[in-house]
Amino acid sequence: MNRFQEPDARAIIADLALPAGSAGLDVGCGVGLFALWLAEAVGPKGRVVGIEPSAERVEAARALVGRTLPSGRLEFREGDATRLDFPDATFDWIWCGDVLHHVQETGKALAEFARVVRPDGRIVVKESQLLHGVFLPGYPALERRLRQAEMEWSRHEGGEFSFEERRQRTPASLRAAGLRVESFRTYLLQRQAPLPEATRDYIQRVAFERNWGPRLRDRLTAEDWERRSALCDVASREFVLDDPDYYCLYPISVVVATVP
Ligand SMILES: C[S@@+](CC[C@H](N)C(=O)[O-])C[C@H]1O[C@@H](n2cnc3c(N)ncnc32)[C@H](O)[C@@H]1O
């Protein structure tokens, strides 16, 4: 989805020590950046397939990174987490990054993951912000209210539970699906001014304009919306990303499970 996480993502992938030459599936690969970094990690004899539910997203991944590696090492196809179009035991591992909280039928998806991974293979589920990150340093009360409004908003897609609740239930979901949780580790991404372009772009477009954008307006008081706009709108004189003391903190959790 973004290059904002790239240095941390590469470190997380390195910590997994995926075997050189192994075959992996990236479920919900978005525009394919993680699939590329995973394919690089397993080397020239390895293979990664990224799947996305819509043809449009598959095309976006192919266009962005599809030609980066020699053919056979990285491939993108249409597919859904709950109906994987692969024979049993096709892959050595599965990567599912910031996707599982979008999938309503969690158990069905995890059963499919377990089916297409070989015995003793790994299922890696990454979810961000099991703990709240900090995007508005110095404004904790306002940020808490924005995050509460965001959590309430996400119930319309997340069903019974908000995205945040679903993310926090990841280890429990894996266990409920009969998988063995082997490790659970949280990394902390930290960036500070002057911000790398990818960080600035992500926070402005995804965190401020999308996540905390117009969709939250009716869930906030007029006063909070005004304050949010002063701090988060790029045209504002108080735009926080222009503050020379700005920083952000963003936790990323990685749960690794195996099929017992
Ligand atoms: C937050 S994005 C993460 C994309 C990518 N994994 C990354 O880390 O950059 C969530 C992705 O999950 C995909 N997704 C949602 N429901 C899915 C499903 N049932 N099966 C597979 N992918 C799904 C979306 O299309 C979207 O690309």
Question: Closest ligand 1 atom, CA of 1?
Answer: 9
Collect contacts of 201-208 with beta carbons under 8 A, ≥24 apart.
Answer: 201/2, 201/4, 202/2, 202/3, 202/4, 203/4, 203/135, 203/241, 203/248, 204/234, 204/241, 206/1, 206/2, 207/135, 208/135, 208/232, 208/233
Closest residue by Cα to atom 4, ligand 1, is 30
| Centroid of ligand 1 to alpha carbon of 31 (angstroms) | 9
Collect contacts of 158-162 with beta carbons under 8 A, ≥24 apart.
Answer: 158/101, 158/102, 158/104, 159/104
Give the up-direction half-sphere exposure of residue 148: CA atoms within 13 A in the CB hemisphere. Answer: 11
CB 123 within 8 A of CB 113: yes
pLDDT digits (tens, 9 = 90+) for 138-193: 999 999 999 999 988 888 765 678 888 899 999 999 999 999 999 999 999 999 99
Of all residues in the chain, what percent carry a pLDDT higher than 90? 92
Indicate the top mutation candidate among 77, 94, 99, 154 to test ligand 1's pocket, ranked by most ligand atoms within 8 A of CB.
99
**Site residues for ligand 1, CB cut-off 6 Å:** 1, 27-30, 34, 52-53, 57, 80-82, 97-99, 102-103
User: What ranges make up the beta strands (E) of 73-173?
Assistant: 74-78, 91-97, 117-128
Q: What is the mean pLDDT of the chain?
A: 96
| Centroid of ligand 1 to alpha carbon of 55 (angstroms) | 13
Quote the CA–CA distance of 143 and 139 in Å, as a whole number.
6
**What does the pLDDT read at residue 160?**
76
Q: Name which CATH class applies to 6-258.
A: alpha beta
pLDDT digits (tens, 9 = 90+) for 190-212: 999 999 999 999 999 999 999 99
Closest residue by Cα to atom 1, ligand 1, is 98
| Centroid of ligand 1 to alpha carbon of 30 (angstroms) | 5
Closest residue by Cα to atom 22, ligand 1, is 28
pLDDT digits (tens, 9 = 90+) for 65-111: 999 999 899 999 999 999 999 999 999 999 999 999 999 999 999 99
Asked whether residue 21 carries a pLDDT value surpassing 70, the answer given is yes
Amino acid at 112: E
User: Taking the domains of the chain in order of start, what are their residue ranges?
Assistant: 6-258
**What does the pLDDT read at residue 1?**
53
